[in-house]
């Protein structure tokens, strides 16, 4: 499941980056070119993908006992 989430996170980041490039007219000739709505949607997707990768790969912290226990 961890591998699937990593692949999904990378895919979402790449798709968001593509939409950002189209929305900012770096990739002209598409219906989405020079449309700021796609720039914002792409940026939100990139942020979501980074969050997904961070959540999936952050180190797990485990408490070994309650405070005050031996």
> What are 11-68's pLDDT values in tens digits?
999 999 999 999 998 888 888 888 899 999 999 999 999 999 999 998 877 666 666 6
Q: What is the pLDDT of residue 5?
A: 93
In a domain, 48, yes or no: yes
Would you state the pLDDT for residue 69? 55
Cβ distance 45 to 16 under 8 Å? yes
Q: Total structural domains in the chain?
A: 1
pLDDT score at 30: 82
Residue 16 belongs to a domain: yes
Q: Is 62 within a domain?
A: no
Nearest of 17, 2, 6, 8 to residue 47 by alpha carbon: 17
What pLDDT was estimated at residue 1?
Answer: 84
Inter-residue contact 40 to 3 (CB < 8 Å) = no
Residue 30: domain span: 2-57
Return the structure tokens found at 48: 């979501």
Output the pLDDT for position 67: 64
Q: Does residue 46 sit within a domain?
A: yes
What is the SS3 assignment for 43? helix
């Amino acid at each position: 499941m961890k591998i699937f989430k990593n692949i999904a996170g990378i895919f979402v980041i790449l798709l968001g980056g593509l939409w950002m490039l189209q929305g900012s007219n770096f990739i002209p000739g598409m219906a989405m070119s020079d449309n700021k709505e796609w720039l914002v949607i792409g940026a939100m997707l990139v942020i979501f993908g980074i969050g997904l990768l961070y959540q999936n790969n952050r180190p797990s912290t485990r408490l070994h006992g309650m405070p005050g226990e031996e």
